[in-house]
């Protein structure tokens, strides 16, 4: 089974801190994703990456950056955390490039609940 591991289950940070959320997948997947999940808003895509050192903005990239130096690891960075970034963050990965991506399931981690105070 594919395993997507997020480094922290719960995280509490102060406003203005730089925050790193780490995600590792063990199935050699090309694609990796970062979502945030908020009540009433569902899942929203922040960034995704389809290869090492490649990244694409999702629907809500403002205030975030990402890093993918190795295929198995995708990091989400909050350069200066703010209280409106308090949320559940979900990492996911999937196989396949190009048109095959359309029928490639996403595999999610169990999330990091970040609180910014």
Partner 1 sequence: DAKTTQPNSMESNEEEPVHLPCNHSTISGTDYIHWYRQLPSQGPEYVIHGLTSNVNNRMASLAIAEDRKSSTLILHRATLRDAAVYYCILRGIIQGAQKLVFGQGTRLTINP
Site residues for partner 1 per CB under 8 A: 4, 31, 33, 40-45, 48, 50, 56, 90, 92, 98-99, 101-111
What is d(CA 23, CA 26) in angstroms, rounded to the nearest whole number? 10
- The smaller minimum CB distance to partner 1, of residues 69 and 98, is found at 98
Q: Retrieve residue 82's tokens.
A: 């703010």
Closer CB to partner 1, residue 66 or residue 109?
109
Report in angstroms how near the CB of residue 65 gets to partner 1 at its nearest.
18
CA dist., res. 95 & res. 113, Å (int): 26
Core vs surface per residue 1-19: b (16+ CB within 10 A) or e: eeebebeeeebebeeeeeb
* CB of 12 vs partner 1, minimal distance in Å: 18
Nearest one of 88, 109, 89 to 29, comparing CA atoms: 109
Nearest CB to partner 1, comparing residues 40 and 84? 40
Shortest CB 18 distance to partner 1, Å: 25
């Amino acid at each position: 089974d594919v395993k997507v591991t997020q480094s922290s289950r719960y995280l509490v940070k102060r406003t203005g801190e730089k925050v790193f959320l780490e995600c590792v997948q063990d199935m050699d997947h090309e694609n990796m994703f970062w979502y945030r999940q908020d009540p009433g808003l569902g899942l929203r895509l922040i960034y995704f990456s389809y290869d090492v050192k490649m990244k694409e903005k999702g629907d809500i990239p403002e205030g975030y950056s990402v890093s993918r130096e190795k295929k198995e690891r995708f990091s989400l960075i909050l350069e200066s955390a703010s209280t409106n970034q308090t949320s559940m963050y979900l990492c996911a990965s999937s196989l396949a490039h190009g048109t095959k991506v359309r029928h490639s399931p996403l595999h999610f981690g169990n999330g990091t609940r970040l609180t910014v105070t």
